[in-house]
Structure 1
Amino acid sequence: MSKSAAILNSIPQLQKICSNADHIYSVGFDSRRDMEDFLIRLMSYKPGWLTFLYKVRGVLAGIMGLKHDEFMNHGLEVSDYDFSRGGQVDFFNSIDFEANKFWIGEATDKHLSGYIGVVSEPAETGLNYYHVFTIVHYKHWTGPVYFNLIRPFSHLVVYFMGKYAAE
């Protein structure tokens, strides 16, 4: 079992979400930032290239009859992000949070449920080690079709979000 898998399985809420998941991806980052700062930077990362990819995603979503949230214009300011359970972070609903330990957000549509989150672990060097993960559950036949089209981009996006957050 990989270190990331062991970390995800060590948190009961994540273990439940991971069971029967269709896709799990995790990448880790060392950072001097505290968890709140890391989370805010992670979820507010919106460079031009990502905005472009999201517009392309909107075309694909429209063709497949899927909901397409506004990436840049969802009406929520970064200062309004609420990581606590029931809060809203960008277009994700916060489903669980334990300060300085983990945060889990969920976005659902008719085709899949997608989860993003972070697990914090102190590193031996005095830094924090952040496991950034995505978990996907397909709900409809369009789920695997859609997700397999965006999967390579999803992994790149999560990597660059985490890299930016850790800096």
Structure 2
Amino acid sequence: MDRRDLERLSGMAGLLDGADHVDVHTMDGRGTVLGLAAGLLSYRPAWMAWLWRVRVALLRTLGQGERAVPDRAVLTAETLPRAPGDRAGIFTVVRTDGETYWIGEGKESHLDAAVAVCGESLSEGPDGRSRFRVVTVVRYRNRAGAVYFNLIRPFHHLVVHAAMRSFLGRERG
């Protein structure tokens, strides 16, 4: 999916401006955009807790200050923050229409990152499947941001794919 196609997705206008990196993970399944966004932000198996500790050490090594492993968010479609400016795990809500997209943004000393969860129905009826896209947009603030993100990028893809599969493998709203 190229950038022009991405910008046509609900809620995406302007989100890609100035991006240093954009990736898209696509998966079909049952659920809702808010449910998937909540599932992504709440996803933290034991192996991922280890990755968070590695992240803390890496950022310290790159001179980006002290970091702590954030508390695990425990969110559902019903409890996921929706108002712009509200905190949702490590992200701040940027915008959502509550049905077809949810976008959050995280700002740190080394980079800014946005995550957009977009969905479109593939069939009619309550048991229909949808196509979900998780779009990650990264803007480097300094050289450490570029080094950091390129070192963690393979793990980023692993985490997003595993989290999507975990949520969409179950029927949830």
Q: TM-score, normalised by structure 2?
A: 0.84
SS in structure 1 of the partner of residue 82 of structure 2: coil
Show the 5 A alignment for 1:145-164. 145-164=147-166
In the TM superposition, what whole-angstrom CA distance separates every residue of 1:115-167 from its partner, at most 9, and x where no partner exists?
11201111147311110111100111211111111111111111111111211
Pairwise CA distance, 1:41? 1.6
Residues matched between the structures, number: 163
Unaligned runs of 5+ in 1: none
Match for residue 140 of structure 1?
A: 142
Show the 5 A alignment for 1:9-20. 9-11=7-9, 14-20=12-18
Match for residue 118 of structure 2?
A: 119
Match for residue 62 of structure 1?
A: 60
Q: 2:21 aligns with which of 23, 29, 54?
A: 23
C-alpha distance in 2, partners of 1:32/1:52?
30
Pairwise CA distance, 1:35? 2.4
Instruction: Pick closer, same or farther for the CA change 1:11–1:33 going to 2, 3 Å.
Output: closer
Q: Is contact 2:10–2:118 with CA below 8 Å preserved after alignment?
A: no
Match for residue 93 of structure 1?
A: 92
C-alpha distance in 2, partners of 1:133/1:62?
27
C-alpha distance in 1, partners of 2:21/2:13?
14
Q: Is contact 1:84–1:96 with CA below 8 Å preserved after alignment?
A: yes
Which structure shows the higher helix fraction?
Answer: 1
Q: Is contact 2:11–2:101 with CA below 8 Å preserved after alignment?
A: no
Q: Is contact 1:44–1:78 with CA below 8 Å preserved after alignment?
A: yes
Match for residue 107 of structure 1?
A: 106
Unaligned runs of 5+ in 2: none
Match for residue 75 of structure 2?
A: 78
Taking only the aligned residue pairs, the percentage that are identical comes to 28
C-alpha distance in 2, partners of 1:97/1:43?
15
C-alpha distance in 2, partners of 1:134/1:106?
10
C-alpha distance in 2, partners of 1:102/1:10?
12
Pairwise CA distance, 1:114? 0.6
C-alpha distance in 2, partners of 1:26/1:124?
22
How much is the aligned-residue C-alpha RMSD, in angstroms?
Answer: 2.1
Structure 1 stretches of 4+ moved >3 Å = 4-7
